[in-house]
Structure 1
Amino acid sequence: MRLVPFGVSGSFPGPATPASSYLVHVSAAESAAAGHEARDWNVVLDLGNGAFGALQRHMDPMALDAVSISHLHPDHCADLAGLYVYLRYHPERGSLRDGGRGAPLPVYGPSTAERHVALSYGLSDGESMENDFDFRSWAEHELVEVGPLTIEPHRVFHPVETYGVRITGPSSSGGTTTLAYTGDTDACTSVVELARDVDLLLSEAAFLEGRDDVVERGIHLTGHRAGQVATDAGARRLLLTHLPVWNDPADTLAEARGSYAGPVEVAEQGKTYEL
């Protein structure tokens, strides 16, 4: 299993990277070794502003097996509209023509995701995306199986309905491995449980200690608080993401290193992280 960030910018796209989006990929060989269908499996975690363009540089959108949406702020879901256009109107493979996907793409997300995405695209009441997207609402701790991947949603601490996800799948070195992605959250018991003993914690870290203390709690983690979550949870590696353009990554990294003694780095768009 491997993680490839398509977008790592916090709150909106930056000049060098789109907003939040991350591919979880399992190869055909890994899938077969785990007793599942011998083919590549692809799940995208969030699809924020600009991320669909980056996704197309890395993979065929028709090869997606599922999309996981943490919450409905645009920096995490806005490019579902572009994906919908691709799946529906592609001149050779779109659902309006022969040779489409054959079944709607599963989209897991908050309870209001289906209507929210339809409205963001401009569909009127009574119109839906059901021929292209199969919207499925998260239920906390209810496991979702996507081929060799098992996804467990955890409700986290953010102003809107938000879920972090814990993903278990085949390791690239044999056996199984675990990844936790926080979505957007502040420190809370739930995010620690989400990250408990994971091999890699992909954590947002949008705020800085001191500078952002004027903002009410329940919005974002700092590098320090992300590091503390990793320490409290016993996470084996920490990967920081969702930094807005006005943050110096070195500051966020230094905060995290002050509260977490394990391996830690700032996520890079397009880099492959093996699990």
Structure 2
Amino acid sequence: MELIVLGCSGSVAGPDSPASGYFVRGSGQESVLLDIGPGVLTAMQATEGIEPSECHVVFSHMHADHCLDFPSLLVWRRFHPTAAATRTHTLLGPAIAQQHLSMAGADYPDSPDDISDTFDVRVHEVGFGVFDANSWPSHTVGDFQVFAAPAVHTTEAYLTRIHDAQGKSFVYSGDTAATDTLAQFAQGADLLLCEAGWGETSEGKPTGMHMSGQEAGRAAAEAGVTTLVLTHVPPWGDKDAALRGAQREFDGEIIVAHAGMVLNF
């Protein structure tokens, strides 16, 4: 499986990275875009081998830093003179996704954009307890199996787990506060892509919003993952501090995400 970090800046786009957007490619012909925040469509155009009209889209939640480039993606898919979409792709996300995205691309407030011409919209189904691929609800998205669990955030939000046809797997935290669900959901995954928006620790930070590097490291250790990738640090944040926090809890491989990073696992 290949994971390309198109954007990893937390909360807003930064001077050296778009906001959240991750491109996933398996052994087959299908690909999935995880979130599409501000600047991500630009990064897609600049990355060799990525065709914006030829991927499915999975949303963790509908905050602007994770979905604001979607209306522009619709324009590309519908009207590009040589590279418009030639088929319908899957869009998987929260129950509020269709209404939210239809309004984001609307001409007028009372005329929501009908996106069914280019996307088949589906809603995350969640499981609970320790992850088991044989019993957990899932969606088939292209060549991938996509699973979800509830995140702890200020809006409807999900943890996402993706398996490819070769048995590789990774978990994306999206935006979430620390929760035991993350370690349970990530059990045995090859890679955990985890937000560390609060930096080294969550001490003194608002509750119910984000994780620290220390909490990300603890989740990775409890889940027994091979690799932890820290992401979603805002432009004013301290990536080195987030890394220090994670290292206190997890003795496996830890990588700090940056735009343009390519991970094969």
Question: Does TM-score exceed 0.5, indicating one fold?
Answer: yes
Cα deviation code 1:27-46 (max 9, x no counterpart): xxx33xxxxxxxx2210111
User: In the TM superposition, what are the counterparts of 1:7-18 in structure 2 within 5 Å?
Assistant: 7-18=7-18
Specify the SS of the correspondent of 2:75. helix
Amino acid at match of 2:211: L
Classify 1:266/1:93 alpha carbon distance in 2 versus 1 (closer, same or farther; 3 Å).
Answer: closer
TM-score by length of 1: 0.87
Specify the SS of the correspondent of 1:62. coil
What is the CA–CA distance in structure 2 between the aligned matches of 1:160 and 1:55, rounded to whole Å?
A: 27
Cα deviation code 1:41-73 (max 9, x no counterpart): 210111111111101122111221x10000010
- Is 1:117 matched with 2:101? yes
Which residue of the other structure, out of 116, 134, 139, is the alignment partner of 1:130? 116
What is the CA–CA distance in structure 1 between the aligned matches of 2:244 and 2:83, rounded to whole Å?
A: 47
Partner of 2:5: 5
What is the CA–CA distance in structure 2 between the aligned matches of 1:239 and 1:55, rounded to whole Å?
A: 21
- Is 1:102 matched with 2:87? yes
Is contact 1:84-1:133 (8 Å) kept? no
Return the offset for 1:193. 1.6
Partner of 2:180: 189
Cα deviation code 1:208-258 (max 9, x no counterpart): 346x53333110000000000111111111000001011221111111001
- Is 1:147 matched with 2:142? yes
Return the offset for 1:123. 3.8
User: In the TM superposition, what are the counterparts of 1:233-252 in structure 2 within 5 Å?
Assistant: 233-252=223-242
What is the CA–CA distance in structure 2 between the aligned matches of 1:10 and 1:117, rounded to whole Å?
A: 21
User: In the TM superposition, what are the counterparts of 1:166-205 in structure 2 within 5 Å?
Assistant: 166-170=161-165, 175-205=166-196
Amino acid at match of 2:46: R
Which residue of the other structure, out of 34, 48, 51, is the alignment partner of 2:37? 48
What is the CA–CA distance in structure 2 between the aligned matches of 1:93 and 1:207, rounded to whole Å?
A: 40
Cα deviation code 1:60-115 (max 9, x no counterpart): 11221x10000010111111111011111212454xxxxx4233x22111101111
Specify the SS of the correspondent of 2:174. coil
Partner of 1:216: 206
Classify 1:24/1:93 alpha carbon distance in 2 versus 1 (closer, same or farther; 3 Å).
Answer: closer
Return the offset for 1:9. 0.2
Partner of 1:34: none
What is the CA–CA distance in structure 2 between the aligned matches of 1:240 and 1:2, rounded to whole Å?
A: 17
Partner of 2:23: 23
Return the offset for 1:118. 1.7
Q: Report which stretch shifted further, 85-94 or 3-12.
A: 85-94
Return the offset for 1:126. 4.6
Specify the SS of the correspondent of 2:46. helix
- Is 1:158 matched with 2:153? yes
Return the offset for 1:13. 0.1
Partner of 2:134: none
